[in-house]
Amino acid sequence: MELKLTKRPKSPIIIHGFPGIGLVGAIASNYLIEHLNAEPIGNIESKKIMPLAAIHNSQIIEPLGIYYDKVHNLVLFRITTNLNGLEWYAADMISKLAKELNAKEIISLEGIAVQELGDPKAYYFTQDAKKDKFFEKIGITKITEGVILGATGALLLNPDLPITCILSETHSNMPDSRAAAKIIEVLDAYLNLNVDPKPLVQKAEEMELKLKDIMAKSQQAVDLKERKDLDYFG
């Protein structure tokens, strides 16, 4: 994997959401990019992932795009492809970016699986006691027992990274915009983004359909390639 940047913000906060359960993190990060009018400043290139060029509003969207919101000094990842088996590589790229930009913090957005769901609840994890006080003040529960998988799990294993995880309950393998909206609500309080919560769910639902379509086409491309490989070797 290769990190490419056209701009290098100084000491930003890095936010990423991988397409995990309910696509919660991916939907939330996509919403932020759209809402904050973040500009593209780079991408991660890799021959290990399926070549994929998504098109949105007549613009090409990179499979692993990097965006920048100057107003809040945020660097955001837009991830539209499946990274199964590449989680360590992705975590390494985020770690590298954080060190190059001297990032203040990395914020990971994730879904957390539950069997029954009413209004989704939000949780957090950090090893920074100062941040504990803030989240406790706004009524967000800290995870004290559990397992966090994937690239976020790999990032958490690096003690040198200033990482905060914000998670929301979801019980679906389908895109869950309401869980993503809960994450945005917490981020709004945490970073003072001035996100209007009222149209959030409706907007997120529109985005989830787009994201679902992109992810489905990406998976179809992967399946087709695997079938061709089997035919070739068979």
pLDDT tens digit sequence for 12-42: 999 999 888 888 898 899 889 988 999 999 8
Full domain range(s) for residue 7:
2-233
At CA 74, angle to CA 68 and CA 78, rounded to 5? 60
The string of pLDDT tens digits covering residues 116-141 is 767 788 999 998 888 999 999 999 99
Give the span between the Cα atoms of 49 and 57, in whole angstroms: 24
Work out how many domains the chain is built from and give that number: 1
Task: Specify the pLDDT at position 22.
Answer: 83
Give the span between the Cα atoms of 75 and 31, in whole angstroms: 14
The string of pLDDT tens digits covering residues 97-117 is 999 999 999 999 999 888 776
Give, as one character, the DSSP assignment of residue 38: P
Task: Specify the pLDDT at position 21.
Answer: 84
Q: Does the CA dihedral 164-24-17-13 come out positive or negative?
A: negative
Instruction: Quote the mean pLDDT of the chain.
Output: 84
Task: Specify the pLDDT at position 204.
Answer: 56
Task: Specify the pLDDT at position 205.
Answer: 67
What percentage of the chain exceeds 90 in pLDDT? 38
Task: Specify the pLDDT at position 63.
Answer: 74
**What kind and span of H or E run contains 42?**
strand 39-45
Mean pLDDT of 49-62: 73
Task: Specify the pLDDT at position 198.
Answer: 64
Question: 3-class SS at 198?
Answer: coil
Give, as one character, the DSSP assignment of residue 54: E
Task: Specify the pLDDT at position 230.
Answer: 64
What percentage of the chain exceeds 70 in pLDDT? 90
Query: What CATH number has the domain bearing residue 74?
Result: 3.40.50.10900
Using an 8 Å Cβ cutoff, are 207 and 177 in contact? yes
Task: Specify the pLDDT at position 73.
Answer: 97
What is the model's pTM? Answer: 0.82
Give the span between the Cα atoms of 154 and 87, in whole angstroms: 7
Question: Of 4-8, 11-15, 73-77, 99-103, where does mean pLDDT reach its minimum?
Answer: 4-8
Pairing of strands 59-61, 105-113: unpaired
